[in-house]
Amino acid sequence: MTNKSRILPITRPVFDDEELRLLAACLASGWVTQGPMVRKFETMLSERHQVRYALATTSCTAALHLSTLALGLGPGDEVVVPAYTWVTSAHCAEYVGAKAVFADIEIETYNLDPQTLEAVITPRTRAVVVVHLFGLSAKMDEIMAIARRHRLQVIEDAACSIGTTYGEHPVGGLGDIGCFSFHPRKVVTMGEGGAVTTNNEDLAKKVMSFRCHGDSVFFQPPNSDAGKPYNMDPFDFLGFNLRLSDILAAVGVAQMVKLDDLLAERKACAGIYNELLTGIDDLALPVSPPKCGHTYQSYVVRLKEGGKERRNQIMDRLTEQNIQTRPGTHAVHLLGYYREKYHLRPEMFPNACLGQDTTITLPLFSGMTLADQEFIVKTIRNALH
């Protein structure tokens, strides 16, 4: 059994003539920095996720950074972060001088365990980053109850979770502030890009200011002369240049139109994987607890026995067949910066280590055929046995 004719990627973006049309319209308009295309994209995102404000940024990393700035986090503050996530979920606290404090995950969902969250809260804890990993909503009722009881601000890292819901409510508007990614591995992509979502006007104004060099025109009274052609905008804050260009937003607008179809296709492929992999006792498949919607930005399985060495052998077999894979994500406490700075050890967060060492992200992309999925599963079966 060999597959020499075709590479099966983890994912790939879906572009067509609509992206080209909107790109051409953007270039022809002459307005290529933050402008009408960005506003259109922000409107589409805010409507989809039922939030008052959606503010486009250069990346989800920028969105997370802007969120910690807007929330006023800084030196002396602690921010709880899942120990199993992409590194910038933790970096955003460190960017502003706060301390990232890790809590372990539920191994079944790969999301923050509410019990471990509460166990690490101290008098210095001011916020928690809740990650909806791989497109699966975290258990927001339990987490929000803990956060409110301890007066914590809640940042939703929804980088993987455009279109994901918790109960009947979209993620990104359940906490105080949300963050999205439009990286090429995401369902909606514009190459790079991110967004901040919130229902809080004050937080929205701060994000708008910080993403635009600290421009404070957003805080001026309606009848002021700020913004008139003979006045330069006031700059009362230390800000950054983290605005999205209209060129990228044009791609994002075209992508948002496709969102329902893209999500439906991913869910259908995930359902087929679930059927084909059922009965392979060596593998733990994705789960969706009550109320927790899943949009399958990634389809991640976990090897129950054999650990990292056996997992790697399976991934090597898949690579031999031109099937791309990767671990789900990394255990952040094992990365050099955090390991050395806070003297962290693997055994402190065992489920995060299991997630890093025993998971496999399987290909899931638009246009994937039943034959593709059958071939992948057959390769896995052969590698296991």
pLDDT in tens, 159-189: 999 999 999 999 999 999 999 999 999 999 9
pLDDT at 315: 98
The band of 2, judged by pLDDT with boundaries at 50, 70 and 90, is low
Residue 341 has pLDDT above 80, yes or no: yes
Tell me the per-residue pLDDT of 74-116, one tens digit each, with 9 for 90 and over. Answer: 999 999 999 999 999 999 999 999 999 999 999 999 999 999 9
Instruction: Give yes or no for residue 1 having a pLDDT over 70.
Output: no
pLDDT-derived band at 27 (thresholds 50, 70, 90) equals very high
Q: Cα separation of 216 and 229, whole Å?
A: 16
What pLDDT, on the 0 to 100 scale, is given for residue 146?
Answer: 98
- 259-384 maps to which CATH number? 3.90.1150.10
Whether the per-residue pLDDT at 55 is higher than 90: the answer is yes
**pLDDT by residue (tens digit) across 111-162?**
999 999 999 999 999 999 999 999 999 999 999 999 999 999 999 999 999 9
Alpha carbons 215 and 229: distance in angstroms, whole number: 15
Cβ atoms of residues 55 and 42 within 8 Å = yes
Residues of the chain with CATH 3.40.640.10: 17-257
Q: What is the dotted CATH code of the domain comprising 17-257?
A: 3.40.640.10
Q: Count of CB atoms within 10 A of residue 382's CB? A: 12
| pLDDT above 70 for 199 | yes
Q: Is the pLDDT of residue 342 over 80?
A: yes
Is residue 385 very low, low, confident or very high in pLDDT (cuts 50, 70, 90)? Answer: confident
User: What's the pTM value of the predicted model, to 2 decimals?
Assistant: 0.96
Q: What is the rounded average pLDDT of the residues 216-226? A: 77
Per-chain mean pLDDT for the chain: 96
Q: Give me the pLDDT at residue 221, please.
A: 75
Round to whole Å and give the CA distance between 325 and 109.
19
133 neighbors 330 (Cβ within 8 angstroms): no
pLDDT at residue 220, as a whole number: 77
If one counts every other C-beta atom within 10 angstroms of the C-beta of residue 305, the result is 8
- Residues 294, 164 contacting (CB under 8 angstroms): yes
Least confident of 11-20, 227-236, 320-329: 227-236
Asked whether 227 and 233 are in contact (CB, 8 A), the reply is yes
- Detail the DSSP E strand segments found in the chain: 53-57, 78-82, 99-103, 125-131, 153-157, 165-166, 169-170, 177-181, 194-198, 283-284, 299-303, 359-362
Report the pLDDT averaged over residues 52-73: 98
Say what percent of the chain tops pLDDT 90: 93
pLDDT tens readout for residues 263-294: 999 999 999 999 999 999 999 999 999 999 99
Which of 206, 264, 209 is CA-nearest to residue 234?
209
Residue 144 DSSP class? H
Neighbour-count burial of 140, counting CB atoms closer than 10 A to its CB (0-12 exposed, 13-18 middle, 19+ buried) = buried
**Mean predicted confidence (pLDDT) in 353-365:** 98
Question: DSSP string spanning 105-143?
Answer: B-TTT-SBPHHHHHHH--TTEEEEEEE-GGGBPP-HHHH
Alpha carbon of 171 to those of 218, 299, 305, 356: distances in Å?
Answer: 26, 19, 33, 25
Residue 357 — φ and ψ, nearest 5°?
A: -90, -15
